[in-house]
């Protein structure tokens, strides 16, 4: 009688918790093609939903409902809720919710904590109480934190707001650096410009702040600066196994462009490291003064502070990463796995979503996969490739070539792993159906081979350099669109059309050169000591990659073999040019 009574109580408790169905129902079948992904033997994948729009982080409730932070604001809501009602792994109810008065870009954070759905935009962290049995929360959204942009005078870069929670009621939010390397606005990213010392941005940015997870209406000043010297964090998680915060730093950019005497294009593609940091209260990771070189295994002085790619300075005194990943892979989410569905090697290990690079030119872009770091007795092992195939192509010349870019990671109540991506809005559910007792090196072997793929491996300095191919394509475009005025030899006609061969306009900052091509140029100028007063019409009708090819050819042929131009910079130039025109209208 007592046993029966206890059994009924246990059954009742499971029903109330909403977990019985999830625990007892079998895993749904995987898709025939595993959703296009490659994983270790024994894993299957089902596509939960496709093409819901650019997605950022996501969270999964105890009953299996999925919540996704969408990239952009929308009149019907900037959050997405998904439900699978027949356990086939596919979402059959999809609802938007949440219209907020907030900045619409860099929406990122999404977590479930103490029966609340927490989410962020670039200027707020909010929460809504989840309603039992309801897909969309019915409670009003509460504002936990507002970013009052205390560093607005330095700019608005790196203002994504990923969030995580510890076991004592604290919420952690990073405030990224407003710029690349802590310079004044008129010098930011300028070749040869020195950094500010001391860096004034560190007072309110370039670090991680700790807040009360349950207190409404907080500003940044109400929080505790938990860690500093961290340029930009999008991937962050609290490890409940060792009760510590971990974060992945996006390293700085433009080593070769700004300091070509010290860094080759290959070094600029590989450096600086994306740092996997174990973050303690009071940690200082060294930004902007230092960066981590994973090939030398040490922190080095940034060139803006007197470094040359070799000087160590006091780099050893700062927080060292537990792993230094190659540069520009863009680690955009971090999840410590606590489930039991996967084989034992994954327990307490770290899954990392590498969103993929944008500025590795003239070498192929890299990243675009899910990595895994096993942890044994609290210490990390060698990183692995867990899921690949997102890019759909091996050679990613420019970011747009990639089919998908993995973005968010979350675990479901049954231990399945959910992955979001930012290009189209596809969500995968990864399940393990093999023999956990037999899982080992043999099952991981094919994933080790994936490290030799071009989107992951260290590029060959000569064979993988795309400059020759880009310059060859650019030569055809140059003769078609530019040669009539500037001549095939780049020397101009000597009267109306200025030379570009040897010109400071060609060898100088590529931003100015890109601006001329996109917006044209008129009025008096001086080129190689000779005055000219004419007009060059915009050539903005060319595609970004075509402009990059032309300018790469021009800089290689007529600019003393100056560094090539990537289409990412052309795209950014086009964006800022359009924005400036709109602001001036």
**63's tokens:** 């009953």
Q: How confident is residue 102, by pLDDT bands cut at 50, 70 and 90?
A: low
Tell the residue number behind the tokens 């099952």, with chain if given: 443
245 close to 230: Cβ distance less than 8 angstroms: no
Tokens of 499: 């030379």
Contact 319, 277 (CB under 8 A): yes
Query: Which of 324, 332, 435 minimizes the C-alpha distance to 383?
Result: 324
Residue in 50, 46, 6, 47 with CA at minimum distance from that of residue 26 = 46
- The predicted structure's pLDDT at residue 94: 97
Is pLDDT of 440 > 50?
A: yes
Q: Could you tell me which residues come within 8 angstroms of residue 173 by beta carbon, excluding any fewer than 6 positions away?
A: 109, 120, 125, 145, 161, 162, 163, 208, 209, 211, 223
346-350, 483-487, 550-554, range with greatest mean pLDDT: 346-350
**Do residues 450 and 456 touch, judged by C-beta distance below 8 A?**
yes
- pLDDT of 312 higher than 80: yes
Dist CA 575 CA 297 (whole Å) = 37
Determine how β-strand 379-380 pairs with β-strand 417-421: unpaired
Residue 482 and residue 492 in contact, taking contact as beta carbons nearer than 8 Å: no
How far apart, in whole angstroms, are the C-alpha atoms of residue 128 and residue 404? 30
Interatomic CA distance for residues 504 and 325, integer angstroms: 36
pLDDT of residue 189: 64
Instruction: Name the strands in the sheet holding 207-212, side by side, starting at the edge strand that comes first in the sequence.
Output: 164-165, 170-175, 207-212, 224-228, 283-284
Q: Which region among 83-97, 284-298, 555-569 has the lowest average model confidence (pLDDT)? A: 555-569
pLDDT at res. 16: 39
> How many angstroms separate the Cα of 117 from the Cα of each of 16, 419, 461?
19, 18, 47
Three-state DSSP class for residue 82:
strand
**Can you tell me which residue has the tokens 């500010």?**
196
pLDDT band of 502, cuts 50, 70, 90: confident
Cβ atoms of 358 and 366 closer than 8 Å: no
4, pLDDT greater than 80? no
Would you call 459 helix, strand, or coil by DSSP?
Answer: coil
Predicted confidence at residue 23, as pLDDT, reads 47
Measuring CA to CA, which residue among 288, 305, 315, 290 is closest to residue 182?
288
Query: 579: pLDDT confidence band, cut at 50, 70 and 90?
Result: confident
* pTM of the predicted model as reported, rounded to 2 decimal places: 0.87
pLDDT at residue 210, rounded to an integer: 98
Longest dimension (CA), the chain: 105
CB atoms within 10 A of CB 585: 5
Q: Residue 569: which H helix or E strand, with range?
A: helix 567-584
Domains of the chain: 10-452 (2.120.10.30), 467-584 (1.10.760.10)
* Residues 354/331, Cβ–Cβ less than 8 Å: yes
pLDDT one-digit tens code per residue, 373-389: 999 999 999 999 999 99
Q: Is the dihedral of CA 195, 199, 200, 206 positive or negative?
A: positive
Q: How far apart are CA 233 and CA 226, in angstroms?
A: 14
Q: What are the CA-CA distances from residue 207 to residues 405, 530, 543 (Å)? A: 26, 49, 38
Does residue 206 surpass a pLDDT of 90? yes
The tens digit of pLDDT for each residue in 125-163 reads 999 999 999 999 999 999 999 998 766 655 567 888 999
Name the average pLDDT for the chain: 90
Distances (CA, A) of 561 to 253, 462, 490: 21, 15, 14
């Amino acid at each position: 009688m007592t046993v029966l009574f206890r059994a009924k109580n246990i059954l009742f408790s499971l029903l109330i918790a909403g977990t019985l169905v999830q625990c007892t129902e079998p895993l749904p079948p995987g898709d025939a093609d595993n959703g296009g992904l490659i994983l270790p033997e024994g894993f299957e994948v089902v596509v939960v939903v496709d093409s819901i729009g650019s997605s950022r982080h996501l969270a999964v409730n105890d009953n299996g409902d999925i919540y996704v932070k969408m990239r952009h604001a929308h009149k019907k809501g900037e959050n997405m809720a998904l439900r699978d009602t027949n356990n086939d792994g596919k979402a059959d109810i999809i609802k938007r919710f949440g219209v907020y008065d907030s900045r619409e870009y860099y929406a990122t954070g999404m977590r479930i904590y103490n029966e609340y759905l927490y989410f962020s935009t670039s200027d707020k962290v909010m929460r809504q109480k989840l309603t039992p049995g309801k897909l969309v929360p019915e409670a009003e959204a509460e504002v936990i934190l507002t970013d009052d942009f205390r560093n607005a005078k330095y700019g608005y870069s790196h203002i994504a707001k990923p969030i995580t929670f510890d076991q004592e009621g604290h919420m952690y939010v990073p405030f990224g650096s407003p710029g690349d390397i802590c310079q004044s606005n008129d010098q930011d990213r300028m070749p040869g410009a020195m950094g500010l010392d001391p860096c004034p941005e560190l007072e309110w940015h370039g670090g991680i702040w700790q807040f009360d997870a349950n207190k409404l209406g907080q500003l940044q000043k109400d929080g505790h600066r938990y860690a500093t010297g961290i340029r930009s964090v999008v991937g962050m998680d609290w490890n409940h196994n060792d009760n510590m915060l971990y974060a992945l730093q996006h390293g700085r950019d433009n080593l070769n462009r700004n300091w070509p005497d010290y860094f080759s294009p290959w070094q600029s593609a590989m450096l600086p490291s994306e740092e996997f940091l174990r973050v303690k209260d009071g940690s200082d990771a060294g930004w902007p003064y230092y960066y981590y070189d994973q090939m030398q295994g040490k922190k080095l002085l940034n060139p803006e502070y007197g470094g040359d790619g070799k000087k160590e300075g006091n780099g050893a005194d700062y927080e060292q990463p537990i792993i230094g990943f190659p540069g520009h892979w863009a680690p955009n989410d971090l999840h410590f796995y606590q489930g039991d569905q996967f084989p034992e090697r994954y327990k307490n290990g770290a899954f990392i979503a590498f969103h993929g690079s944008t500025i590795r030119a003239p070498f192929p872009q890299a990243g675009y996969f899910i990595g895994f770091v096993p942890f044994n007795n609290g210490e990390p092992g060698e990183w692995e490739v867990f899921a690949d195939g997102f890019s759909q192509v091996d050679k990613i010349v420019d970011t747009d070539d990639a089919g998908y870019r993995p973005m968010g990671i979350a675990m479901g109540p049954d231990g399945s792993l959910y992955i979001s991506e930012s290009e189209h809005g596809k969500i995968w559910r990864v399940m393990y159906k093999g023999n956990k007792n037999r899982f080992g090196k043999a099952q991981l072997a094919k994933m080790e081979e994936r490290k030799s793929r071009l989107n992951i491996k260290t590029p060959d300095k000569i064979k993988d350099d795309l400059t020759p191919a880009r310059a060859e394509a650019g030569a055809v475009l140059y003769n078609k669109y530019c040669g009539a005025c500037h001549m095939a030899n780049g020397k101009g006609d000597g009267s109306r059309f200025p030379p570009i061969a040897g010109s400071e306009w060609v060898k100088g900052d590529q931003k100015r050169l890109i601006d001329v091509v996109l917006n044209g140029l008129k009025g008096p100028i001086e080129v190689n000591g000779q005055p000219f007063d004419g007009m060059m019409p915009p050539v903005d009708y060319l595609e970004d990659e075509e402009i990059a090819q032309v300018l790469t050819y021009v800089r290689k042929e007529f600019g003393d073999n100056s560094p090539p131009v990537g289409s990412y910079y052309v795209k950014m130039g086009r964006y800022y040019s359009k924005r400036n025109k709109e602001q001036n209208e």
